[in-house]
Amino acid sequence: MRSGHPRRMIAATILVDTAMVVASFIVAYFFRFLGGLPTELGVPPLSDYWHALFGIIPVYLWLFREAGLYQPSRHMRRIEEIFLVIKVVTYAVILLMALTFFYRQFSYSRLYLVFIWLFSCIFISVGRYALIQWSYWRRSQRKDLIEVLLIGLTANTRNLIVWAKNNPHYGQVPVGILAQNVEDIGKHIEGVPVVGLTEHWETLIQKLQPNQVVLLDTSLSRERITDLVAACEDAFIDFKMGADIHGLIASNVGVEYVSHIPLLGFRSLPLDDPWNRFLKRSFDLIVAGIMAVVFLPVGIAVALMIKLEGGGPIFYFQERVGRDGNVFPLIKFRTMKIDAEEETGPVWARPKDARRTRIGEFLRRWNLDEFPQLLNVLSGSMTLVGPRPERPHFVDKFREKVPRYMARHKIKSGLTGWAQVHGLRGDTSIEERIKYDLYYMENWSLLLDVEILMMTLFAFKNAY
């Protein structure tokens, strides 16, 4: 029988959220009516407000559930969860304010609701953070662990093992790998042993009794997969399947029913929503405008250094492919010698590139050559964060060889991106870069944009 830890964790989260809502309700009451603020009608008794909890708590819990904050397993960063809590609490208080207009038996203080919003954001975030830390501590004590059996020896097998080691707080511990070839038995992948053959999965599952089975072997027949799923269900083992094609389809697959037929397809991207595009564009204009003003003195100094080193143009304009495949002129500080590609043709920059100028080497090392692209952002041809735009020559080359390469052009190109802050820039794996670009597109949020911008300040890997 499998552990009931996920259910216990959900129940504990609901109890903590409820307790924090009650605490914020009480503290908000004392701040509003007993904190020295003016009250035209005097101080109402707490009992007049107490019965409102019967409406407040269900609204909070329902909205938290709709936001996915009670899912059994959610691989969400702590800061991301806190921001999501603040977002949902804001929606809850707006809804409560709207309801007070229809409830005329008692007049609730609007300022009181503002205090509820403030203290709910603080208390619920603190409560959830404490609960997460408690869960992390238990897993560091080797409790509530999720033992995982990996079926298939592929590149993704190693990636999952590395992820589990780098994120021990999620409690996933690979206990073994099944492979196709006999000679692989006894080998270790990142410390995890290959314990048997894929064809012997039934015997090995009964022997190891894992909490979760992850199928990564793409060679299994449909019938064998069906048997594997049924066996896991019968033993109360959680079953997952690496269903990506060429390693590129991530979390953006949804099911649509036509009649009784389930059809798999890609869900709409977050930036397909006009409201999200408006938020992102507003964020771009505000942040890029501030950055342009702050950077202006540095930009003038850089321009003078480029001129003093040997003359020639200060800026370098280059055609790049952006959203919907449209070509636009990207602007950068010139870091290469004039006519640098006359002999080589279109090539990527590389370490110790002889085409660079001395000031160009400095600018590239510290990412300063990219700052003129703030003008591209302000003009609307680019965004602050998004997949980096590529030259038409390379786009034509990659679209034929790399699956889903053109999918990255469904949104605007960015000055920086999720792939770049992870060191995937210049002459690095295009396939890996696409995975990061697609992840960003499918999981976009303003919080993720802010995180990437902050990471960019320290992203110097492969900056040449």
Q: Quick one: pLDDT at residue 279?
A: 92
Predicted local distance difference test score (pLDDT) of residue 427: 66
Q: According to the model, what pLDDT value does residue 254 have? A: 64
Q: How far apart are CA 416 and CA 385, in angstroms?
A: 5
Residue appearing with tokens 């003009």: 379
Of 444, 374, 453, residue with least CA distance to 417: 453
DSSP assignment letter at 408:
G
Q: What residue spans in the chain does CATH classification 3.40.50.720 cover? A: 146-242
> For the chain, which ranges sit under pLDDT 50?
1-2, 245-248, 462-464
- pLDDT given at position 351: 55
pLDDT at residue number 245: 45
Give, for 262, the enclosing helix (H) or strand (E).
strand 261-266
User: Looking at residue 1, what is its pLDDT?
Assistant: 40
Which residue(s) pair with 261 in the sheet?
Answer: 258
Question: What pLDDT is stored for residue 70 in this prediction?
Answer: 85
Q: What angle do CA 78, 81, 85 make, to 5 degrees?
A: 140
Q: What is the pLDDT of residue 108?
A: 66
Looking at CATH, the fold of the domain delimited by 146-242 is given as: Rossmann fold (3.40.50)
**pLDDT of res. 2:** 47
What is the pLDDT, as a whole number, of residue 132? 82
Model confidence pLDDT, tens digit, residues 385-429: 999 999 898 898 888 888 778 888 989 999 999 998 888 876 677
**What is the reported pLDDT for 348?**
53
- The 3-class SS string of 67-130 reads CCCCCCCCCCCHHHHHHHHHHHHHHHHHHHHHHHHHCCCCCCCHHHHHHHHHHHHHHHHHHHHH
pTM given for the model? 0.60
Name, in order, each residue with C-beta under 8 angstroms of 274's C-beta and a sequence gap of 6 or more: none
Query: Is the Cα dihedral 7, 8, 11, 13 positive or negative?
Result: negative
